[in-house]
Structures are given as structure tokens and as C-alpha cells.
Amino acid sequence: MAAWRDYLAENESAWYEEVLELLRIPSISTDPERASDVAATAEWVAARMKKAGIPEVEIVAGPGHPLVTGQWIVPNKPRVLIYGHYDVQPVEPLELWISPPFEPTVRDGKIYARGSGDMKANLLNVLHAVEAFAKTDGEPPVSLIFLFEGEEEIGSPNLPAYVEANKEKLACDVVVSADGGVAGPDV
């Protein structure tokens, strides 16, 4: 087994706790009263990116909720842009929830919380994989550009302007969206 796979397996329980921690932050981008929670989530994500070993991490303030960007450029390697978001949908109506939306609950081996499938857990999976390469191989096998936003759930109103203004910085060979749920245990 590759060293990075061993690293992933060895750190699974600690990372599981990180997922639960991130899911507890109510980063509802549609609710102005939650703007500080959305900003706190951006800070959390940026700190986790640095912990993963990503050398260039930045929180980009703008007219709406912040973007979190990062780069790990490996010379002479293809550039992969990984897109994702850290904001979540509103939780109403609360009475339809079996458990509180921001208190992760495990049922039948699955985590239930707002953002568990779309997309906080997915975002962390990406960062855990990057950390595994950093700690075992020293660098990822490709150059990585990260673009995580806090406005996807409201239609990404400020993302096009950022992309237009940062074409060179975001130039890549392929874009990967980490968004969306996992269809099943074998996926």
C-alpha cells in the first residue's frame, strides 16, 4: 500500500472529529445574521489548508462572503483547480429534522448534519488527501489551486468577478468540483 494511503488510514479517527467540528459551524450564507459564522468558517478552512501543508493560503474579502484560495505549485506538473464551497443551505423547517442540524449525529454509519453531504465533508476529504501527500511524498503529484467560496448556496454572485480578475492565478489544465454528496459506500 502507498505511504499516503497508510497516512490516511492512520489519521481517519482524528479527521472524523474534524468533520464533526466543521459541521457544527452554522455557515448559512442566505442569513445575514449568520455572516459572522460564514466568516468563521472561512477562517477555519484557511487554517485547515495551512495545516494540510498548502504553502499559499489566502482569505479574500469582497462584497459578499469571503473566498478561501490556495496554491501548491509543483514545477513542471499539470495544474488542477479544485473548486468547492463551505456555506450551507438554511435549515428551516426545523421540525422536519430528526436531530439538530448543526449537531452531527451518526445513524446507520452515516453522519447527519447540515453540510455533511454538500459539501463540508467533501471539502475536508480533499484537504486530508493533500495532507497525506505532503506528509508522505513531500508534495502532491500535480500542482494544486484551491478555490473555496462562501456563496455557492446563494448562486455565487461574486465568483465571476473574482475569476475574471484572477485569470492568470487560476489558470489550470483541469477543474475538479468537490461539490455534491457521495452516492454510496463504494463510490
Cell 468547492 sits on residue: 84
Cα–Cα distance for residue pair 130/159, rounded to 1 Å? 24
Cα–Cα distance for residue pair 73/96, rounded to 1 Å? 45
Can you give the pLDDT at residue 179?
82
Can you give the pLDDT at residue 184?
56
Tell me the per-residue pLDDT of 31-57, one tens digit each, with 9 for 90 and over: 999 999 999 999 999 999 999 999 999
The matching CATH number, chosen from 3.30.70.2190, 3.30.565.10, 3.40.630.10, 3.30.70.1560, for 3-177 is 3.40.630.10
Q: Phi/psi zone of residue 13: left (φ > 0), alpha (ψ -120 to 50 degrees), beta? A: alpha
Please confirm, yes or no, whether 87 is among the known catalytic residues: yes
Which of the following is catalytic: 18, 87, 149, 153? 87
Percent of the chain with pLDDT over 90: 89
Terminal-residue alpha carbon distance, the chain: 19
pTM of the model: 0.93
Cα–Cα distance for residue pair 97/110, rounded to 1 Å? 15
Which of the following is catalytic: 18, 149, 151, 152? 152
Please confirm, yes or no, whether 152 is among the known catalytic residues: yes
Bridge partners of 53, per DSSP, are: none
